Amino acid sequence: RKEVEQDPGPFNVPEGATVAFNCTYSNSASQSFFWYRQDCRKEPKLLMSVYSSGNEDGRFTAQLNRASQYISLLIRDSKLSDSATYLCVVNKGRNTDKLIFGTGTRLQVFP
């Protein structure tokens, strides 16, 4: 089993749609969770951290479910500019700075 698993997609959605991605992780001791965004042939960039209580940043909402060991990302009112690959990132275990990246979920927003 991979340490971090994501549905590769692609998710093809129209502008204005709401779309959600899930990511599962295998190490119950993981403490840090993030979503990164990566455009084609570019470096990954931090989209948002994921906190235990859930957090929102504009149209983006992240949730953490420790019991089921998954995190989610919800994008509301999708824009064409949201088209990218979204990477789920989890630290490897307790008190470690090693981050494990999922292979990403590709989102394509069409007009």
Residues of the shown chain interacting with another protein in the complex, contacts defined by CB under 8 A: 32, 34, 41-46, 49, 87, 97-99, 101-104
Alpha-carbon gap, residue 8 to 11, rounded angstroms: 9
> Least distance from C-beta 103 to another protein, angstroms?
4
> Least distance from C-beta 98 to another protein, angstroms?
6
Alpha-carbon gap, residue 36 to 17, rounded angstroms: 20
Residues contacting 41, CB < 8 A, separation 6+:
none
Comparing CB distances to another protein, the nearer of 43 and 111 is 43
> Least distance from C-beta 16 to another protein, angstroms?
30
Comparing CB distances to another protein, the nearer of 31 and 69 is 31
The secondary structure of the chain in percent helix, strand, coil, rounded to multiples of 5, reads 5, 50, 45
Comparing CB distances to another protein, the nearer of 25 and 104 is 104
